[in-house]
Amino acid sequence: MTGEFVTLEVTDKIGTIRLDRPKMNALNTQVQQELRAAAQEATERDDVRAVVLYGGPKVFAAGADIKEFAETDYTRMVARAEALTGSLTAVARIPKPVIAAVTGFALGGGCELALTADFRVAGDNAKLGQPEILLGIIPGAGGTQRLTRLVGPAKAKDLIYSGRFVDAAEALAIGLVDKVVAPDDVYAAAVEWASQFANGPAWALRAAKAAIDGGLDVDLETGLRLESQLFAGLFATEDKRIGMESFLANGPGKAEFTGA
């Protein structure tokens, strides 16, 4: 998939969704549409087993296109708000492991995009935040919801009410990112993380993500039913047979899964 600002490139079963809209990868309407298309393609392609989100070596994404927002009134935003949220939700719903490789700024919509990933690797130069309050608005593409689920309500309110940026060290301490490396190593570290899933049991990974993400939105009893159904379904997969036969013959961790 090749858009003007967003591309999907696949190497060794890892798909990289790359943002490249100079200077700061602002998420205008076109970028949102291209993100949705890239997420859909990554979802559908069998040769993509894990995904890396990457904004390039200098910046992940510095937020929405404020000029575009400034020219939008209430009635037009009512029509567009769901599309904005939906473009990032499409990334969150990729049923495969997703790692965000964050360099430089990940602010506003850029932070919300990073929040759609399962894991976040950040450079030690990274700055993350939800500064929408400084513009007289609030996060509108998942920030109030995904950030709260990730770091808890008190810390989410701290960041959203103040609009302040956090550096990589604080982001790591509060659980906003999962690993911090040198800026030049961010993409390689994200690819290395993704590579552990590239040859894994694709349907089991898909089920694990569905169980965890789906369970966050329901009560425990409903979540347990969801888990049980997904668990049982994996007994129809070839990878279940491969994994268990390998375990019985050779012990754990030696199965060569096919993704079927």
Residues 98 and 163 in one domain: yes
Residues 237 and 156 in one domain: no
Instruction: Write down the pTM of the prediction.
Output: 0.94
Residues 224 and 143 in one domain: no
How many domains is the chain built from?
2
Burial string for 220-246 (b: 16+ CB within 10 Å, else e) reads: eeebeebbeebeeebeebebbebbeeb
Query: How many CB atoms neighbour CB 120 within 10 A?
Result: 29
Whichever domain contains 227, its CATH number is 1.10.12
Q: Which residues form the domain of 189?
A: 6-198
Q: Of the listed 68, 132, 238, 245, which one is catalytic?
A: 132
pLDDT in tens, the chain (260 residues): 789 999 999 999 999 999 999 999 999 999 999 999 999 999 999 999 999 999 999 999 988 778 888 888 898 888 788 888 999 999 999 999 999 999 999 999 999 999 999 999 999 999 999 999 999 999 999 999 999 999 999 999 999 999 999 999 999 999 999 999 999 999 999 999 999 999 999 999 999 999 999 999 899 999 999 999 999 999 999 999 999 999 999 999 999 999 89
The verdict on whether 112 is a catalytic residue reads: yes
Residues 167 and 89 in one domain: yes
Placement of tokens 């949220």 in the chain: 85
Whichever domain contains 27, its CATH number is 3.90.226.10
Q: Specify whether the CB–CB gap between 98 and 118 falls below 8 A.
A: yes
Q: Of the listed 44, 112, 227, 238, which one is catalytic?
A: 112
The verdict on whether 132 is a catalytic residue reads: yes
Q: Name the amino acid, one letter, at 88.
A: L
Residues 166 and 216 in one domain: no
Q: Name the amino acid, one letter, at 12.
A: D
Residue 1 located in a structural domain: no
